[in-house]
Structure 1
């Protein structure tokens, strides 16, 4: 076993790509999982262009057979199994709770919640035998703070946080350290991709909100890059005593605090206003208009 071998799932883009670059440059033997040969080739070329290296393996985390095949191959590549796994692969299914059908719900939970647990199940026997290993699960501020129109995504991340907490306590006696990384909003492509998954606005009571949300999601351009998330993962892998949770970004920290201390009714109202489920009182709208005009 290479003591510096780390598997990063969903390494082909967004946060996964940032984590792969960060760890490769820090000297880790990074194995990035991707869903296609083309994406793997592009990732290897990008990392090589920065003076580092990465190996890739094909993996669909939502497919149990693919997981077994990929981690069997990875065990051969690492002399028995990786030292660490970063469960990053995921997607965001938008839509009101009543508009997301059962199959979409299953796919959301399978990818964001069941798959990280499945992967932990595949790597933990070797980690326990070595009495060493780390698992880092990438969640989201949405795992702490539920938002309208993202209920099932929030549910998948809230579930991941609960499972991660249990896993951390279960594996600690065996020398395996488990951490959770909770990013705020970063420019990763997840929200632009989510726009294509919005329910049909013409067949929903929430059509106006979907039309507005689609424009916002497809127009996301000014979010910061995801390197702070990659740096948090690096800390979780290198700290002698890693933190149970790494909340990443000022926006995530302030959102978590405000949601925890604000009355539920007030928090609900702010989230409804933010997503267009409610409109601000006329006097507030006029005041905002005056501020924008300055």
Structure 2
């Protein structure tokens, strides 16, 4: 019997790549989108590659919308899906002190509370079947905190901790939980981040925000997120999936550097990278040469 997988936030970026990859591999994919226009676009893209994707409207930050969406999913799947890929997310940039309470709550609601809410809805049927998968899309930022992404990193570190606890809790019932931790890939999450930058003129970090604005405008040059989608497919096909999957050489490099280098060294490197500190002239020249390669 074909296994059904729900992919949240499937209209763009990692979610879109994952929905198409899984559908092409023979899974019965239900992709969620916030609007009918985005849902239609997802279906059209799936048809163009000869795959079928069903869609359900869902705003993961709205508890009522989530219950309605997964009630519909249960009707489409004889009680509930075999797997859920919690991909829907957002990135709130800004210094910790510049991000107000409402923005903080939205960040945590989207990236942390929503996956837990969805797990709560699908677990009873998975437990009854004694089979199921939950895959949470995190980020290398869940292991490597960065200046000006403190709240985003907090949401992803929280997601990692929640996933670890959930993995142990549901394992006796035949349910497997995995965390996918990608490095840098081209997705709209960073383009949308431009709209969420705090008011620069009123911040002590105005210069750094100006630099971040220019950096975020260049994310279109980042590689396709298909490696992340292929990793999700590998995790779903595995008899014993790994608890965590790091995706990308940059992710592995960042995690290794964070683990091996002294905190003072990693703080300095991140501060230089984000414009908080200026390196000595000879180091600046070396960095310029490396960027030019």
Name the structure 2 match of 1:32: 31
TM-aligned CA deviation for residue 15 of structure 1: 0.1
Name the structure 1 match of 2:117: 118
Check conservation: 1:12, 1:33, Cα contact below 8 A.
yes
Q: SS at 1:182's partner residue?
A: strand
Distance 1:20 1:288 in 2: 39
Aligned length: 293
Name the structure 1 match of 2:4: 5
Check conservation: 2:29, 2:54, Cα contact below 8 A.
yes
1:235-254 maps to which residues of 2 (within 5 A)? 235-254=234-253
Q: SS at 2:146's partner residue?
A: coil
Q: SS at 2:94's partner residue?
A: coil
Q: SS at 1:230's partner residue?
A: helix
TM-aligned CA deviation for residue 292 of structure 1: 6.8
Name the structure 1 match of 2:175: 176
Check conservation: 2:2, 2:26, Cα contact below 8 A.
no
Check conservation: 1:94, 1:194, Cα contact below 8 A.
yes
Q: Quick check: 176-185 or 282-291, which moved more?
A: 282-291
Q: SS at 2:144's partner residue?
A: coil
Cα deviation code 1:13-60 (max 9, x no counterpart):
000000000000000000000000000001000100110010000000
Distance 1:267 1:150 in 2: 15
Q: SS at 2:198's partner residue?
A: coil
Distance 2:186 2:136 in 1: 19
Distance 1:63 1:159 in 2: 19
Q: Quick check: 195-204 or 276-285, which moved more?
A: 276-285
1:1-294 maps to which residues of 2 (within 5 A)? 3-289=2-288
Cα deviation code 1:61-112 (max 9, x no counterpart):
0000000000000000001000000000001000000000000000000000
Q: SS at 1:51's partner residue?
A: coil
Q: SS at 2:219's partner residue?
A: coil
TM-aligned CA deviation for residue 239 of structure 1: 0.3
With over 3 angstroms needed to count, the CA separation of the structure-2 counterparts of 1:240 and 1:286, relative to structure 1, is closer
Provide the TM-score with structure 1 as the length reference: 0.97
Q: SS at 1:32's partner residue?
A: strand
Check conservation: 1:3, 1:83, Cα contact below 8 A.
no
Structure 2 gaps, min length 5: none
Structure 1 gaps, min length 5: none
TM-aligned CA deviation for residue 291 of structure 1: 6.5
With over 3 angstroms needed to count, the CA separation of the structure-2 counterparts of 1:49 and 1:203, relative to structure 1, is same
Provide the TM-score with structure 2 as the length reference: 0.98
With over 3 angstroms needed to count, the CA separation of the structure-2 counterparts of 1:261 and 1:77, relative to structure 1, is same
